[in-house]
C-alpha cells in the first residue's frame, strides 16, 4: 500500500500555525516572522514535507518561473555568461529559470506558444528576435517581457541594451585619432538592432570626420567567419589599416588570419577593435581592444524590469547602458595619448 503523502495541512498542524502560514514560510518573499518560518521549516523537516511548486502556482497564480530564450548558445561567447548571471540573480530572488534555445533552423516564433503554456511569470529574450504580435500576447496577459541587447521598435517589450551607437562612435574616434586612414567594418549577420546600430554609429562618425574610404564585409558572429572575412579584407592591394568588428569573436578570427596567414603585424600595421569584451579578449594571445559591456549591469537592469516593486507592469521602455572602450594590445592608442 502506497504511503500517503504529507500535506501542508499536516505541517500546519504540527507547527501550530495556519495552512496559509506554511505557504508563506516557503515563499522567499512571504510576509512572515523569522521565528515562525523556522518553526514551520522544522515541522516540515520532521514530516519529510516537500512543497509542490506547481500546486502552489495554481493557488497563487504565480509560478516563480522566468523564461529565457537564447539563440546560438553553442556559438556565442557573450551570452553564456549572461545566462549564468541571470540564473544566479533570479535564484537569489526565489525564482527558477526555464531556458528555451532558439535554433537557427527553427524560428523563435514557433516556440513562443509553448513558452506561454508554462505560465512563466516573465520572459527574457536574448540573441534572437520574435515578432511584435507574439510579444504583445505576453504583455497583454500581464507578463513582463524584456529584450536583452535587442531593440524592437513599436512593441510592448522593454529593452535593455548597450548603447551601440555611442560605443561604435568611440571606436571610430579612437581609430582616426590613432592616425588610421583606411578603415574597415566587419558586420554581423542579419538586420538585428545590435548589428545595425553598431554599423550606423561607426560609419556615421567616420563620415562626420571626413573619412569616406570604408571597407565593409559581413560575418556570422563566429570565429571562422571572422577568419574568412579577415582574408577577404586584408589580402588585397589596398587593405585597411584599422578594422572594427561588430563582435569580439569575429575580431579574434580576423586577428589570427592577419597574423598567421598573411603575416601582418598587430598593431604596427593593423589595429583591430571588437565589441562585447568576452573572456577570451583578455587572453595575452589576443589582447583585444574592445567595447566592454557590463553583463552584471545589464542583467540587474533587466531583472528590475521584470520584478516591479509595486506590481505595475511597465512596457515599451528602452534602457541604454554606456559601454567602455578598453585598450589592450590589438590597437594603437590615439596620438594625443602617446
Q: How many CA atoms lie within 13 A of 177 on its CB side?
A: 13
Number of H helices, E strands in the chain: 12, 12
Using a 10 angstrom Cβ sphere, with 0-12 exposed, 13-18 middle and 19 or more buried, the burial of residue 272 is buried
Q: In the prediction, which pLDDT does 52 show?
A: 63
Residues of the chain with CATH 1.10.260.40: 1-42
Residue 130 pLDDT exceeds 50: yes
Cα distance between residue 86 and residue 88, in whole Å: 6
DSSP assigned state of 331: S
What tens digit of pLDDT does each residue of 311-323 get? 567 788 899 999 9
Cα distance between residue 126 and residue 105, in whole Å: 17
What tens digit of pLDDT does each residue of 23-37 get? 788 776 678 898 998
Domain 164-294+325-337: CATH superfamily, name plus number:
Response regulator (3.40.50.2300)
Residue 59 pLDDT exceeds 70: no
Residues of the chain with CATH 3.40.50.2300: 65-163+296-323, 164-294+325-337
What tens digit of pLDDT does each residue of 78-98 get? 888 999 999 999 998 888 899
Q: How confident is the model at residue 235 (pLDDT cuts 50, 70, 90)?
A: very high
**Contact criterion met (CB below 8 Å) for 184 and 243:** yes
**Fold designation for 65-163+296-323:** Rossmann fold (3.40.50)
Query: Length of the chain in residues, anyone?
Result: 338
Cα distance between residue 127 and residue 108, in whole Å: 11
CB atoms within 10 A of CB 17: 18
Select the highest-mean-pLDDT range: 5-19, 141-155, 181-195, 224-238. Answer: 224-238
Cα distance between residue 304 and residue 189, in whole Å: 30
DSSP assigned state of 328: -
Give Cα 165 to chain centroid, integer Å: 17
Give Cα 252 to chain centroid, integer Å: 20
**Contact criterion met (CB below 8 Å) for 264 and 115:** no
Residue 219 pLDDT exceeds 50: yes
- Across the range 134-156, mean pLDDT stands at 86
CATH number of 1-42: 1.10.260.40
C-alpha cell at 325: 572602450
Reduced to 3 states (helix: H, G, I; strand: E, B; else coil), residue 62 is coil
pLDDT more than 70, % of the chain? 90
Can the peptide bond before residue 267 be classed as cis, meaning omega within 30 degrees of 0?
Answer: yes
Phi then psi for residue 162, to 5 deg, are -65, 150
Q: In the prediction, which pLDDT does 297 show?
A: 95
CB atoms within 10 A of CB 159: 23
Q: How confident is the model at residue 1 (pLDDT cuts 50, 70, 90)?
A: very low
C-alpha cell at 54: 506547481
Closest residue by Cα to residue 215 from 249, 188, 242? 242
Closest residue by Cα to residue 266 from 228, 292, 240, 238? 240
Q: How confident is the model at residue 329 (pLDDT cuts 50, 70, 90)?
A: very high
Q: How confident is the model at residue 134 (pLDDT cuts 50, 70, 90)?
A: confident
Ramachandran region of residue 61, left (φ > 0), alpha (ψ -120 to 50) or beta? left
Q: 20-29, 100-109, 151-160, 259-268: which range is least confident on average?
A: 100-109
C-alpha cell at 35: 521565528
Give me the chain's average pLDDT, please: 87
CB atoms within 10 A of CB 201: 21
Amino acid at each position: 500500500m502506497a504511503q500517503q503523502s504529507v500535506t501542508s495541512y499536516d505541517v500546519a498542524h504540527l507547527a501550530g500555525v495556519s495552512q496559509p502560514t506554511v505557504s508563506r514560510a516557503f515563499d522567499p518573499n512571504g510576509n512572515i516572522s523569522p521565528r515562525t518560518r523556522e518553526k514551520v521549516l522544522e515541522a516540515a523537516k520532521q514530516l519529510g514535507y516537500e512543497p509542490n511548486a506547481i500546486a502552489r502556482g495554481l493557488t497563487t497564480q504565480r509560478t516563480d518561473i522566468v523564461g529565457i530564450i537564447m539563440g546560438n548558445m553553442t556559438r556565442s561567447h557573450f551570452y553564456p555568461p549572461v545566462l549564468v548571471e541571470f540564473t544566479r540573480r533570479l535564484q537569489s530572488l526565489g525564482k527558477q529559470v526555464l531556458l528555451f534555445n532558439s535554433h537557427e533552423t527553427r524560428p523563435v516564433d514557433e516556440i513562443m506558444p509553448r513558452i506561454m503554456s508554462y505560465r512563466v511569470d516573465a520572459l527574457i529574450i536574448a540573441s534572437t528576435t520574435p515578432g511584435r504580435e507574439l510579444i504583445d500576447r505576453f504583455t497583454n496577459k500581464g507578463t513582463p517581457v524584456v529584450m536583452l541587447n535587442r531593440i524592437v521598435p513599436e512593441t510592448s517589450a522593454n529593452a535593455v541594451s548597450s548603447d551601440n551607437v555611442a560605443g561604435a562612435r568611440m571606436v571610430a574616434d579612437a581609430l582616426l585619432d590613432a592616425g588610421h586612414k583606411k578603415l574597415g567594418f566587419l558586420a554581423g549577420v542579419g538586420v538585428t538592432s545590435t548589428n545595425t546600430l553598431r554599423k550606423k554609429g561607426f560609419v556615421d562618425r567616420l563620415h562626420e570626420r571626413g573619412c569616406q574610404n570604408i571597407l565593409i564585409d559581413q560575418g556570422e558572429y563566429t570565429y571562422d567567419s571572422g577568419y574568412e572575412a579577415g582574408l577577404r579584407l586584408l589580402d588585397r592591394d589596398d587593405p585597411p589599416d584599422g578594422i572594427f568588428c561588430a563582435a569580439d569573436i569575429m575580431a579574434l578570427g580576423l586577428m589570427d588570419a592577419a597574423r598567421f596567414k598573411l603575416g601582418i603585424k598587430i598593431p604596427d600595421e593593423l589595429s583591430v577593435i571588437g565589441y562585447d569584451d568576452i573572456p577570451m579578449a583578455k587572453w595575452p594571445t589576443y589582447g583585444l581592444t574592445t567595447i566592454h559591456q557590463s553583463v552584471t549591469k545589464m542583467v540587474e537592469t533587466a531583472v528590475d524590469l521584470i520584478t516591479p516593486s509595486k506590481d505595475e507592469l511597465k512596457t515599451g521602455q528602452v534602457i541604454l547602458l554606456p559601454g567602455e572602450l578598453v585598450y589592450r594590445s590589438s590597437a594603437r592608442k590615439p596620438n594625443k595619448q602617446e
